[in-house]
A and B are shown apart, each in its own frame.
Chain A
């Protein structure tokens, strides 16, 4: 069932890619201005000193995803015809430039165009105010998705606790999602979750996604 979902996701993603953005035809220069490059180009040009971004790694999100409710993130398929102002290649440069999880570079990933929103992040609520489960307005974003990767730096936990070094041969089950605003090119936020915390929201109920 998992494989069926995976390949269905690939097929839908590819179709949406063709419909929505032309699969990487839109690129941007360093100023963020959109320019058009040949879709036949196998590798999005970034910089000689940066890792390239193969066109095969670029897609459009096909399913609505939500993070752990404590983090509040939601990724949805973008509207049909949505065109980013900055390219996936530019977002990839931003990801590498911040070096947030440098050990992940070189591992399999996908960078997908998506609508990003959140129902946790925002101004600190007034004391006594009810919990706000309303999602923020969707922001067209490029999201770098890593799957089945190691946990992030293990800064977790109180002082005095010590954890054994991770077994390098053990299977990893963590996700890492890095969000770049597809209009401004700026880094937005990132999430790391382990133990299958991300869930898929059926498209029919995407607008009423998990709120905790």
Chain B
């Protein structure tokens, strides 16, 4: 748009106040309690205590869940959907920074992982819905992210990515939180692949969910590119993938339309 001016660093008056040390976990917990006093804000009622320390240099991306590795047959996926039972994970302590997180999500991604669109929950101390997307793998780290309403443990929310109007809508329940700015059917190499994963940023993190209360990716559906409709997708087509850096991370099939991810 010609009349727009890119001046991202002069958006608002910027002032620097004194350097303040990072909040301790105790203080963050106190702040979470304070948030309870705010009307309409829901936070986790319990957060697992940190048992381990984040190891510098081990920050990365670790996964436990299921995906369709090499789509065959009816591979014309356009979108993906799952009703996810949210459970907390565990954060490590120390120098975790922005990589000290756990999350769970549903995603549609093209071949060679050359892009993605996802919807799910994310946590630093509380869990909140998020969606983000990238048109290509080169933009992963710069992908725009939107944070939606706060959610809490044991809730079930439908996280889904819908293809319509030649774009992708990233939805939570009945609400759109974001939309792609490109047509995946022309930008991404087909066939697309559905994925359902827990994710953490350190080997010392606990994947959200436990054996008794896993993160359940239920009502798994894929959207047909030919007619736009969502229909159940058999978990028999999905392949388990669990990062091996922590032997407590796990995933399993719960039923023909449900998979679980958790920390044993």
Q: B244: which A residues are within 8 A, CB to CB?
A: none
Task: Verify B20–A51 contact, CB threshold 8 A.
Answer: yes
For the complex, give the distance between the alpha carbons of A43 and B32 in Å. 22
On chain A, which size bracket covers the interface?
35 or more
- A89 close to B (CB within 8 Å): no
Instruction: Determine how close the nearest CB of chain B comes to the CB of A181; give it in whole angstroms.
Output: 9
Task: Verify A196–B6 contact, CB threshold 8 A.
Answer: yes
Q: B58: which A residues are within 8 A, CB to CB?
A: 165
Task: Verify A63–B11 contact, CB threshold 8 A.
Answer: yes
Task: Verify A154–B175 contact, CB threshold 8 A.
Answer: no
Choice from B31, B43, B57 contacting A96 with Cβ under 8 Å? B31
- A110 close to B (CB within 8 Å): yes
Task: Verify B9–A110 contact, CB threshold 8 A.
Answer: no
- B128 close to A (CB within 8 Å): yes
Task: Verify B146–A157 contact, CB threshold 8 A.
Answer: no
- A202 close to B (CB within 8 Å): yes
- A121 close to B (CB within 8 Å): yes
Q: B28: which A residues are within 8 A, CB to CB?
A: 99, 102
Task: Verify A150–B19 contact, CB threshold 8 A.
Answer: no
Residue of A nearest to B122 (CB): A155
Closest 5 CB pairs of A and B: A97-B35, A153-B101, A106-B20, A6-B10, A190-B147
Residues of A bordering B, CB below 8 Å: 2-3, 5-6, 8-10, 13-14, 30, 32, 47, 49-51, 54, 56-57, 59, 61-63, 65, 67-72, 93-94, 96-103, 105-106, 108, 110, 112, 120-125, 127-131, 145, 147-148, 150-166, 174-175, 184-187, 189-202, 205, 210, 212
- Provide 24 A-B residue pairs closer than 8 Å at the C-beta atoms, listed in order of the A residue: A9-B11, A30-B37, A47-B34, A51-B20, A56-B15, A71-B144, A93-B38, A97-B32, A98-B35, A99-B31, A99-B35, A100-B128, A106-B22, A112-B12, A121-B178, A124-B171, A128-B165, A153-B103, A156-B143, A163-B140, A185-B38, A186-B41, A199-B8, A202-B3
